[in-house]
Amino acid sequence: MVQTEWRTTAAGRAARSAVTLVASALVLTGCVLPEQGAGEPRRAQPVIDADAAKQQMVGAVDDVTGRLGDAWKARTGPDYAEDCALPDGASGAQWVYLVGSSRTVTPEADAQDAIDRWKASGLRTGRWGSGGRPAVLAAGGDQIASISLYAYSGNYTVQAVSLCFPGDPDELGRDLE
């Protein structure tokens, strides 16, 4: 009879919930790999194609600029490619997208909002700058390699770098000509 009591009591339901939560966490973290020479884990980068990498990068920039509002103009990309190393060490390509705005509203609050949002998405974040000129960076996700916000009143910029994908950045540039 003790066995059926744990199924119907509040303590029993809480214990089952805790076991389910731990099991889910173990399943979800199964793709985390240890990084050589570092104490913190990193996520394995999935193999992605050029179009998906660009779409995810543009989506990340649009998310930030959409939340901030105001007018934004592309300064570089999204069709600008650089070289990078794929997870297996082979050469690959990655997209870079930089947009700017003359926004002058709330740099400190905008930077903190970006940090909070990126942390909630599972990205590692860093912050630099002071005196109303914050710069924030996020990296480590499975959608983009990195994203940054420079919240300088009158000269805001958001830059994202896509995940590395198989391809030659020089060839990608020629395809756009």
For residues 60 and 97, membership in a common domain is answered with yes
List of long-range contacts for 26-29, beta carbons under 8 Å, 24+ apart:
none
76 and 11 assigned to the same domain: no
Residues 113 and 39 in one domain: no
More confident residue, 60 or 3: 60
Q: Give the pLDDT of residue 103.
A: 87
Q: In percent, how much of the chain has pLDDT > 70?
A: 71
Same domain, 106 and 165: yes
Q: Are residues 161 and 94 in the same domain?
A: yes
Q: What values do phi and psi take at 84, rounded to 5?
A: -155, 175
7-58: pLDDT as tens digits = 344 433 433 333 233 233 322 223 333 333 444 444 445 578 999 999 999 9
pTM: 0.70
Same-domain check for residues 29 and 100? no
38 plus 121 within the same structural domain: no
- Let me know whether 67 and 148 are in one domain: yes
The DSSP bridge partners found for residue 150 are: 135, 157
Per-residue pLDDT of 150-163, as tens digits, reads 999 899 999 999 99
106 shares its domain with 37: no
Which of 143, 124, 136 is CA-nearest to residue 60? 143
Are residue 10 and residue 33 in the same domain, yes or no?
yes
pLDDT value at residue 176: 56
Domain that residue 6 falls in: 2-43
Total number of domains in the chain = 2
Q: Are residues 164 and 91 in the same domain?
A: yes
Tokens of 45: 């980068």
Q: How far apart are CA 104 and CA 106, in angstroms?
A: 7
Q: Write out the two tokens for 109.
A: 């609050």
96 and 35 within one domain? no
Q: What percent of the chain has pLDDT over 90?
A: 51
Answer whether 107's CB lies under 8 Å from 132's CB: yes
Q: Which pLDDT tens digit goes with each residue over 107-121?
A: 999 999 999 999 999
Across the strands, what pairs with 97? 160
